[in-house]
Amino acid sequence: MYLMDNPNDKRQKAIPKTRLGRLSRVARIAGGVAGGMLAEGARQLADGNRPKMSDMILTPGNAGRVAKQLSAMRGAAMKVGQLLSMETDGLLPEELSNILAQLRDNAYSMPSDQLEQMLLATYGENWRDSFNNFDPNPIAAASIGQVHRATTLDAEDIVLKIQYPGVSESIDSDVDNIAWLLKISNLLPKHMDITALLADAKQQLREEADYLAEGVHLATFYQTLIDDERYVVPWYYDDLSSETILAMEYVEGDPIEAQVNLAQQQRDELMCNLFELVFRELFELRLMQTDPNFANYRYQTDSGQLVLLDFGATRSFKAEFVVDYKRLIRAVIAHDDDAVVDAADRLGYAASDASEQYRRFLVDIFYIALEPFAFDGEFDFASSQLSERLSELSDEAYGFKEFWQTPPTDILYLHRKLGGTFLLATKMRAKVNCHQLVSPWITRLR
């Protein structure tokens, strides 16, 4: 979810709702890329250079065209760009990675006529009678919906997350169209198979587009954490919610990434609480909010409480997966290469079938990725350079293209959450003894 600094100065763009309309948008992207290639080729020839195909495709102008059109389409199209930018970071050409990253921070709002259409569908012709007040200016926007403030007839402050029209109906066709675009434009390395990633994007969007299911997750986390004073979860208004509109309590809070100037002890405590929540989600609940976007958290300065928002990307993990991930963490802590490979096999990586060099590469990836859990002491995220070291090691993946695979789906979701938490801890310059926090959870496999 992306917060709008000035909701009165927002960008509006109608969302194409029909399959043909969305396909034409993709065709427009392809046409723009082709035109950009011709222009870049002509420019390089004029400069006396012999242009390469990759140089003509991966120009800032071309990638910018892709990002702009995906942002305008929202829905599955924008989500695929987000997934690619987060899940293949370090494996994509730098130019494409930089532009796809724009989709993490870029979203239009829908115009008033489409907003009215969605409200009418849920509340009927007299939808205004359902509220004391409704603010037509969104306070936040994301890939599949935008957020508006309102007050109930009982004068309670709430927010409505309102889905963009046509999103749920367009999921499969959108993802297939984007896959076609990526294929014909050569915007991805030829050896990269993203079939599993695209299938996962479809499934994830179906889940995120069901706001009644998200409401159930919201209510579950509310009940689970109601007695833990460290966290605040909004109340879910099921009587005002539908498959396309989610109503919840409005909770005050400041952007969590803006808390970088808190005292060191406060920043450490904030991140400690967040890591404890991650471990509880994984090892106790086996139910995790997997979207790592910073905007899904707010911070209440006076109370020091962490506000938890947006449960659309909540995922349930099987007990067997959780046990196997415990094995992986234990193996990394023990620095046992064979045990790491065995755990990776159990989790679906098929590491034992690969070459010895690839197994070494995979083991090294896990040692760096889970280093905060293995380090017995306060881990200094700011000085660790985790992201940089992982990126450098990921460059070696090109040498193992016959073994490279999209991570198993459960791992992909979990590592998105862990990676986002590590990134926030780095931004907060936090020092956290993650080893001490995780150890009680992995003492027993069951």
Kindly list the catalytic residues.
291
Q: Are 24 and 69 spatial neighbours (Cβ–Cβ below 8 Å)?
A: no
Close Cβ partners of 398 (under 8 Å, ≥ 6 residues apart): 189, 191
Distances 4 to 103, 157, 418 between C-alpha atoms, Å: 15, 19, 26
Structural tokens at position 90: 């370090």
Distances 92 to 89, 105, 189, 330, 349 between C-alpha atoms, Å: 6, 19, 7, 31, 20
| Vertex 229: Cα angle to 290 and 414 (nearest 5) | 15
Q: Which residue has the tokens 């909010």?
A: 289
* Selection from 125, 118, 128 nearest residue 151 by Cα: 128
